[in-house]
């Protein structure tokens, strides 16, 4: 699928986005010790000890780029969602029927109608392609970008709604870079990615040929030349994740001084906003660079760039030849995927991308009870209490900063299972035919919904993720932690499992998300979601010293034997590494508190393992995964998470309780010398 072009991520997650499963606790034992690789020493490589046998028995399927716990749950989820979508597609419309269910049925049915999609050919896209062909001047291009954004199809930059970093009580419009089709700016110049650049150019040529262009090679060169120039003014992934680069409040007159060839009042008006509205334009250097290119790049380059991205965005919804071309680049060449997913899975991906909350409401009704939600809420409360105790016990933080940290802790907004109020889909009109037309109608509908929230008070109870997502999230701009229904199930959470397994699984995930509120980026926001410096200079220096040590640890990892020069980027992954480490400590403390209240349980061994050992077994299990080499390269270049193996061994090497649980000795690979261990939260 095409690389998404969107705002810098506002959500920090434990894993990335995967869809949900439906597995009952009775189907799987809390931990099957037969999976353990007893030829491996836990103090040498704990990932291998816990996960190697399972990974060897579960190779990556040909239509996947990675395989592990999250991916297994994804497949289970898709089966549930397929049944929901097919039932919706087959149900007749009725005056009293549910609007959202009917619209899901129309979208799914149109996506599954391969014959109609083939017959339509390029016709659904033709008017947009014709509009691009007419662009002659910078003013033409600027007007096209404004119209496309209003249509829910942004090019070069995205325009969305977000919290005001200065006053989190209100929502504000926000423009942010979304110009690149490759994973990061490095892909356009670094010699390591020459193969990917060639494949990208070949893909451009192929799409231009399918669209009937007379000179596809020249068009590809023009498109790639402009995109390379846009890459030069795009921040690196590690710089882009810093809050200082994510918000810059302006009004149209000030923005026009930064981009004299791109006028913002007409753009805002096109989005349905007042021409005088304040909005964020960040980072300014990108938009200044974009403006220079708008004025100086040949019009042919702009036409080729926009034509390519129209085709690239539409390819998954067009005739099979376009779908094949898209997969051959985005899946096969870029990520190493061997074969495309079946059509029904790809169409469900569209349903979730465009109508995910509607699908989530139906999913929750089938798979997640109010009783399960209540049990999970209790667990979240216990984990947050453990975080509070750790903050209070910190020996490196002054009392003044600690008081502010505890104030932020008190303002957390936990969201568990599913929203209390579901989105209203009234006014959405889809058709039984015309897959691409339905996708575009939904994009317009969703963009209008986002723009309607600009200037409104912030609703801190509103969900920004889907209940059917197997993941968990922290959102700095409203200081919320979200645990969707889909992750509150085995192997993360067992309704009838022992505490050690639950705290090592979902407990570590809960602790991870709560720690994001205090990682290198999250700590720059207060409890309401305002960007604020609540640190003394001395505490700031102490935090940075500890964070820098964690950066050095992860910089040392080179996950790919065939690419020994490609390392984990410790600065890019710092926030996730801090959260992993904090999450383990918080969950372990919460387990000890639970065991203290049940002394008989504290000394009980299950399958020969102590409660502490089972806690760490459960933690390592949730990260079991293998990725294809090409996908790992993409991951290392652009993803804020370290690869699974490094997350396990890199984190636990800093946890003394792990070494004690497995009696690790000096010299063991999993036991870092005390002087080198990092402890932040």
Rg, C-alpha atoms of the chain: 25
Average pLDDT over residues 142-157: 98
pLDDT of 423-469, one tens digit each? 999 999 999 889 999 999 999 999 999 999 999 999 999 999 999 99
- Cα separation, 40 vs 49, in Å, equals 5
Q: Binning pLDDT at 50, 70 and 90, where does residue 310 land? A: very high
Whether the per-residue pLDDT at 5 is higher than 70: the answer is no
Whether the per-residue pLDDT at 12 is higher than 80: the answer is no
Q: At what angle do helices 574-596 and 644-652 cross, to 10 degrees?
A: 60
Task: Single out the residue of 590, 621, 599, 468 nearest to residue 29, CA to CA.
Answer: 621
- Cα separation, 611 vs 145, in Å, equals 58
Average pLDDT over residues 373-386: 94
**Least confident segment among 98-102, 316-320, 521-525:** 98-102
DSSP string, 603-618: T--BTTB-HHHHHHHH
Q: What is the pLDDT of residue 306?
A: 98
Task: Single out the residue of 651, 648, 618 nearest to residue 504, CA to CA.
Answer: 618
- Cα separation, 57 vs 53, in Å, equals 6
Q: 109-142 in b/e burial notation, b at 16+ Cβ within 10 A? A: bbbbbeeebeebebebbeebbebbeebeebebbb
Q: What is the pLDDT of residue 19?
A: 39
**Least confident segment among 67-81, 91-105, 283-297, 319-333:** 91-105
What's the chain's average pLDDT? 94
Task: Single out the residue of 153, 164, 85 nearest to residue 349, CA to CA.
Answer: 85
Strands 413-417 and 480-484: parallel
Task: Single out the residue of 555, 576, 377, 349 nearest to residue 466, CA to CA.
Answer: 349
**Per this entry, what is the length of the chain?**
681
Whether the per-residue pLDDT at 194 is higher than 80: the answer is yes
Q: What is the pLDDT of residue 91?
A: 82
Please give the C-alpha separations between residue 159 and each of 292, 350, 532, in angstroms, as whole numbers.
20, 21, 24
Contact, 633 vs 560, CB < 8 A?
A: yes
Q: What is the pLDDT of residue 74?
A: 83
Q: What is the pLDDT of residue 249?
A: 98
Q: What percent of the chain has pLDDT over 90?
A: 90
Average pLDDT over residues 521-531: 97
Write the Ramachandran bin of 473: left for phi over 0, alpha for psi from -120 to 50, otherwise beta. beta
Task: Collapse the DSSP code of 279 into the 3-class scheme (helix H, G, I; strand E, B; otherwise coil) and give the result.
Answer: strand
Q: What is the pLDDT of residue 50?
A: 98
**Least confident segment among 22-31, 594-603, 670-679:** 22-31
Contact, 408 vs 83, CB < 8 A?
A: no
Q: What percent of the chain has pLDDT over 70?
A: 96
Beta-bridged to residue 171, according to DSSP, are: 163
Q: What is the 3-state secondary structure (H, E, C) of 85-114?
A: HHHHHHCCCCCCCCHHHHHHHHHHHHHHCH
Please give the C-alpha separations between residue 553 and each of 509, 541, 586, 645, in angstroms, as whole numbers.
22, 19, 21, 14
Q: What is the pLDDT of residue 18?
A: 39
Contact, 416 vs 376, CB < 8 A?
A: yes
Q: What is the pLDDT of residue 57?
A: 96
Whether the per-residue pLDDT at 25 is higher than 70: the answer is no
Q: Binning pLDDT at 50, 70 and 90, where does residue 6 land? A: very low
Beta-bridged to residue 68, according to DSSP, are: 625
Contact, 173 vs 271, CB < 8 A?
A: yes
- Cα separation, 369 vs 252, in Å, equals 48
Q: Cα 172 from chain centroid?
A: 22
Whether the per-residue pLDDT at 95 is higher than 60: the answer is no
Average pLDDT over residues 284-288: 98
- Cα separation, 637 vs 634, in Å, equals 5
Whether the per-residue pLDDT at 600 is higher than 90: the answer is no
- Cα separation, 29 vs 373, in Å, equals 21
**Least confident segment among 11-25, 198-212, 226-240:** 11-25
Contacts for 446-451: CB closer than 8 Å, 24+ residues apart: 446/152, 446/354, 447/149, 447/150, 447/151, 447/152, 447/271, 448/272, 449/423, 450/160, 450/161, 451/161, 451/173, 451/271, 451/272, 451/273
Q: What is the pLDDT of residue 169?
A: 97
Q: What is the pLDDT of residue 3?
A: 36
Q: What residues contact residue 634 under an 8 Å CB cut-off, 6+ apart?
A: 183, 334, 335
């Amino acid at each position: 699928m095409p690389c998404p072009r969107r705002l810098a991520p506002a959500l920090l997650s434990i894993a990335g986005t995967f869809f949900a499963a439906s597995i009952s606790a009775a189907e799987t034992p809390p931990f099957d010790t037969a999976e353990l690789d007893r030829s491996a020493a836990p103090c040498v490589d704990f990932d291998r000890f816990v996960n190697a046998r399972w990974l060897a028995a579960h190779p990556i399927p040909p239509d996947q780029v990675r395989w592990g716990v999250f991916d297994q749950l994804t497949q289970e989820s898709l089966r549930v969602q397929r049944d929901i979508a097919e039932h919706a597609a087959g149900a007749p419309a009725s005056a009293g029927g549910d609007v959202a269910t009917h619209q899901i049925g129309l979208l799914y049915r149109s996506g599954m109608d391969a014959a109609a999609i083939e017959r339509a050919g390029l016709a659904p896209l033709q008017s947009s392609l014709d509009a691009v062909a007419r662009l002659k001047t910078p003013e033409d291009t600027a007007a096209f970008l404004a119209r496309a954004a209003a249509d829910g199809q942004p090019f070069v930059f995205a325009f969305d709604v977000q919290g005001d970093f200065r006053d989190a009580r209100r929502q504000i419009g926000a423009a942010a870079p979304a110009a690149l089709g490759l994973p990061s700016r490095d892909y356009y110049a670094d010699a390591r990615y020459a193969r990917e650049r060639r494949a990208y150019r070949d893909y451009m040529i192929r799409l231009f040929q399918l669209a009937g262009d007379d000179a596809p090679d020249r068009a590809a060169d023009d498109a790639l030349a402009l995109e390379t120039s846009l890459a030069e003014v795009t921040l690196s992934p590690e710089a882009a994740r810093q809050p200082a680069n994510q918000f810059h409040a302006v009004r149209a007159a000030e923005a026009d001084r930064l981009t004299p060839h791109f006028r913002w009042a007409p753009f805002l008006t096109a989005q349905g906003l007042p021409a005088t509205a304040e909005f964020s334009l960040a980072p300014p250097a990108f938009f200044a660079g974009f403006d220079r290119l708008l004025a100086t790049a040949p019009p042919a380059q702009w036409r080729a760039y926009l034509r390519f991205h129209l085709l690239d965005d539409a390819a998954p919804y067009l005739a099979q030849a376009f779908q094949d071309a898209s997969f051959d680049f985005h899946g096969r060449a870029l990520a190493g995927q061997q074969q495309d997913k079946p059509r029904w899975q790809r169409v469900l991906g569209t349903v979730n991308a465009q109508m995910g909350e509607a699908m989530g409401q139906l999913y929750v009704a089938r798979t997640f009870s109010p009783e399960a939600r209540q049990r999970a809420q209790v667990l979240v409360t216990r984990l947050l209490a453990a975080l509070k105790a750790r903050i209070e016990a910190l020996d490196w933080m002054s009392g003044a900063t600690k008081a502010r940290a505890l104030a932020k802790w008190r303002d957390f907004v936990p969201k568990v299972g599913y929203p209390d109020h579901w989105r209203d889909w009234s006014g959405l009109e889809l058709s039984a035919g015309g897959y691409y037309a339905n996708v575009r109608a939904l994009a317009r509908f969703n963009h209008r919904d986002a723009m309607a929230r600009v200037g409104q008070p912030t609703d801190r109870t509103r969900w920004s993720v889907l209940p059917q997502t197997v993941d968990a999230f922290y959102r700095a701009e409203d200081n919320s932690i979200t645990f969707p229904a889909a992750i509150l199930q085995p192997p993360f959470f067992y309704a009838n499992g022992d505490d050690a397994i639950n705290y090592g699984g979902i407990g570590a995930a809960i602790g991870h998300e709560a720690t994001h509120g205090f990682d290198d980026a999250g700590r720059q926001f207060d409890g309401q979601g305002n960007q604020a410096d609540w640190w003394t200079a001395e505490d700031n220096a102490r935090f940075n010293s500890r964070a820098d040590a964690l950066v050095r640890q992860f910089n040392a990892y080179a996950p790919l034997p065939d690419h020994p020069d490609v390392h984990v980027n410790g600065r890019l992954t710092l926030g996730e590494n801090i959260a992993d480490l904090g999450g383990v400590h918080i969950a372990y403390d919460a387990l000890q508190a639970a065991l203290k209240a049940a002394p008989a349980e504290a000394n009980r061994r299950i399958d020969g393992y102590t409660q502490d050992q089972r806690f760490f077994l459960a933690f390592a299990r949730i990260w079991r995964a293998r990725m294809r080499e090409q996908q790992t390269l993409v991951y290392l270049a652009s993803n804020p998470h370290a690869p699974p193996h490094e997350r396990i061994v890199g984190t636990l090497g800093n946890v003394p309780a792990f070494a004690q649980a497995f009696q690790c000795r000096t010299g063991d690979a999993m036991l870092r010398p005390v002087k080198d261990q990092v402890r932040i939260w």
